[in-house]
Amino acid sequence: MSLQVENFSLAFDDLVLFDDANFSIESGKIICLHTGVLDGGTSFLKACAGIIKFQQGRIVINNHNLADMNANQIFKNVSYCYEEGGLVSLFTVFNNLAMPLRYHKGLKEKIITDRIYQVAQQLNIEPLLEMEPHQLNDVQKRIVNLARALVIRPKLILADELQSGMSPEMRENTLNILIDYTQETNASILMTTTAGDTTHFADSVYKIENQTIVLT
């Protein structure tokens, strides 16, 4: 799925994060966006997911203006993976993964269960499925957020600092899964990265500089 961001401006009161920024992703690509402290990486991903509003510009997803898409259309096409939070505290991990499939896709329980266990096995999180979010550490929460995106099977995944805190083995396995996912589905992935994260797997790496987004 293609993503185009045109003349994008975003500010919170006097804090200007982006000013007339432009950015695009082609279908089937994995892009890393290198971010620093308070430079707007998380806010940019949330704007692309329709979670927060921006002051100026246009975000186009597969030739559809994000502003004209309803919540269900966004949900079926875009998944945002939270760095922190994003899980319903009263639900087990299994039910956090199942909830969007039940309420937005209307799938039968057997299909839901099979899909969840397939992704859980790939990500090595089967032991977490009956746990609740408060029992998970930060890395596990990020992996569960990714698992939820993968069971939904969106065309665009927006992953916020996914690699943070991962062991080298977990990082390699997770990134290989994402590479396979893009190759199998032609989906696109935009992932924020920080110092110490690997980017060798990405098709391109960008950074935030002077309130815009530039290729490194």
The count of residues in the chain is 216
The domains of the chain, with CATH numbers, are: 3-84+149-215 (3.40.50.300)
Q: Per the confidence metrics, is the pTM higher than 0.85? A: yes
- Own/partner contacts of 86-91, CB < 8 Å, gap of 24 or more, are 86/141, 86/145, 87/133, 87/141, 87/144, 87/145, 88/133, 89/132, 89/133, 89/134, 90/132, 91/132, 91/133
To which residue do tokens 């199998």 refer?
184
- Each of the 216 residues of the chain gets a pLDDT tens digit; together they read 799 999 999 999 999 999 999 999 999 999 999 998 889 999 999 999 999 999 999 999 999 999 999 988 898 899 999 998 899 999 999 999 999 999 877 789 999 999 999 999 999 999 999 999 999 999 999 999 999 999 999 999 999 999 999 999 999 999 999 999 999 999 999 999 998 899 999 999 999 999 999 999
> What are the structure tokens assigned to 5, written together?
């961001």
Number of Cβ within a 10 Å radius of residue 73: 14
pLDDT confidence of residue 6: 98
